[in-house]
Structure 1
Amino acid sequence: MKDYQGYFIDLDGTTYKGKERIPAAGRFIKRLQEAGKEVLFVTNNSTRTPDFVAENLRKNHDINVTAENVYTTAIATADYLRSIAPAKSKIYVIGESGLKLALEKRGFILTDDQPEYVVVGLDTSVTYEKLEKAVLLIRSGAKFIGTNADSNLPNERGMVPGAGSIVKLIEYATQTKPVMIGKPEAIIMKMALERVQLPKEKVIMVGDNYHTDIEAAINVGMDSLLVYTGLSRPEEVIKEKIQPTYKVNNLDEWKI
């Protein structure tokens, strides 16, 4: 087993299950911190700010981290756009406060007046008017960016529509494929590697979902650790052509 210097860690299903703690995850992260490892939570959630995520981890899951330990698709989207577009570029956004704030902090102007980009994330207050505007702007030449392709999100009511469902509707109406940022795409992983300033050979991706967390690692050429505390099941994963680098039943099994 390699001596990894950095750990990219998923949240829901890996670090916690909704409001429920995963005690082994808390112990795992404490062991990483004591060993001086770089810890970065890499999440497809674009609705929350890193400060909010870190506070939730501290208050509700006894995981002592700060906003600097959190990398959301909102931040990754802003970082990606900053790498290809000048400050003050105009962007139309379908999304919530986490996404809008991340873009504003990078100097972008959020407007529906002739934007160069349309960025679409999860928006629990989405309306037909917002969708219509996004479709017309993309059809008029604005570049289409999607935060992530998650079709569903788990909550207490069941598997509700995720950001990918909104992105797909706009893709269908425009016949335009978006640039996708979040897991399993390589973009968020490359942006996260730039954030921690480590080569991919020194970092491992830890997650519970083969089709997002593990495929993201595969797509960028990183090692991966699949933990069976969330979505993916052993009988499903064994059928995949490319296997995770490592698999554990819970994170207590991982030796640092």
Structure 2
Amino acid sequence: MKGFLIDLDGTLYRGHEPIPHAAAFIHWLKQQQLPYLLVTNNSSRTPEQVAEHLQELGIEVPAAAVYTSSQAAAQYLTEQRGGNRVHMVGEAGLRIALEATGFALGAETTPNYVVQGIDRSFSYEKLTEAVRHLKHGATYVLTNPDRMLPSDGGLMPGAGSLAASITAASGVEPVVIGKPSPIIMAYAIERLGLPAADVWVIGDNVHTDIRGGRLAGCRTALVLTGVAMADNVQEQLASAGLTPDLICDDLQHFIEQFNGIDSL
């Protein structure tokens, strides 16, 4: 039995557009009865919102098959037992995940944690407030390190770009939760219920998806439909210093290569 940890942005969809063969790929997984989990560094949506978005794009996936960096961040904080006061820089997906696990947001007293994800209303005031809390001893937790994200109109700055400004101003390096961190990878593999060696990580980003899979001991497949594309893949591989097990034009190409590997 093989299992799959599959990226979302740039792998199944790009903004509000489905990537060709994405729906057929999910159908193939179900038809073959192969376990899978959609693992996303995007912290802005809840699993239910992700599933709804996918359904609008013609991709049928239950919310239980979605695991976000916000959920992983909340799970990590729960395990730390370092207090329940959180100052959040982020959007609804992060807020709901933190509140669902019992964390108090916006407390007047100094927070135990500054938790930051993507925040498309990020401002100088938010930067200042986060830095002040970190200077007063709060632990900095970053949902994901992505500096750029694929979208309808091309690449846009991600949570990692915001984190760069917070780190530069505060001098505090964050605990990184999302890919390529072993934190989210360990949680996702545990949810899948298979040994890491029997898991394929599929994504479009060499620095997050492929590196995360490699560090976790999984097999990896890079699809050229998002951050990595045919015209930049060699540059991406060189900058990361990594070579995935498979490089695929798209998810249909992955199925063809996967079926052709005798060792599987």
CA distance, structure 1, for counterparts of residue 38 and residue 94 of structure 2: 17
Counterpart of 1:111 (choices 77, 93, 106) is: 106
The answer to whether residue 171 in structure 2 is matched with residue 175 in structure 1 is yes
Aligned to 1:207: 203
**Secondary structure, counterpart of 2:5 in structure 1:** strand
Aligned length: 251
Deviations 1:84-105 (A, max 9, x none): 126x611110111100100110
Q: Report what 2:262 is aligned to.
A: none
CA distance in 1, matches of 2:20, 2:120: 30
Contact 1:237/1:243, CA 8 A, preserved across alignment: no
Structure 1 residue 212: Cα displacement: 1.4
Match of 2:87 among 55, 79, 92: 92
Partners of 2:79 and 2:37 in 1: how far apart? 21
Q: Can you give the 5+ residue segments of structure 2 that lack an aligned partner in the other structure?
A: 260-264
Is 1:221 aligned with 2:217?
A: yes
- 2:161 aligned to 152, 159, 165, which one? 165
Comparing 97-106 with 150-159, greater Cα deviation is found at 150-159
1:247 is aligned to 247
Matches of 2:141 and 2:8 in 1, distance apart?
A: 23
Is 2:133 aligned against 1:134? no
Aligned residue among 72, 77, 97 for 1:76: 72
Contact 1:76 1:188 survives alignment (8 Å):
yes
Query: Which residue is 1:24 aligned to?
Result: 21
Q: Among 14, 29, 39, which residue is 2:11 paired with?
A: 14
Q: Any residues of structure 2 matched to 1:137-152 within 5 Å, and which?
A: 137-152=133-148
Distance 2:124 2:235 in 1: 37
Aligned CA RMSD, in angstroms, stands at: 1.8
Judged with a 3 Å threshold, the aligned counterparts in structure 2 of structure 1 residues 104 and 222 are, in CA distance, closer, same or farther, namely: same
Runs of 4+ in 1 over 6 A off after TM superposition: none
TM-score (norm 2): 0.89
With normalisation by structure 1, the TM-score equals 0.91
Give the conservation status (yes or no) of the 8 Å contact 2:6–2:201: yes
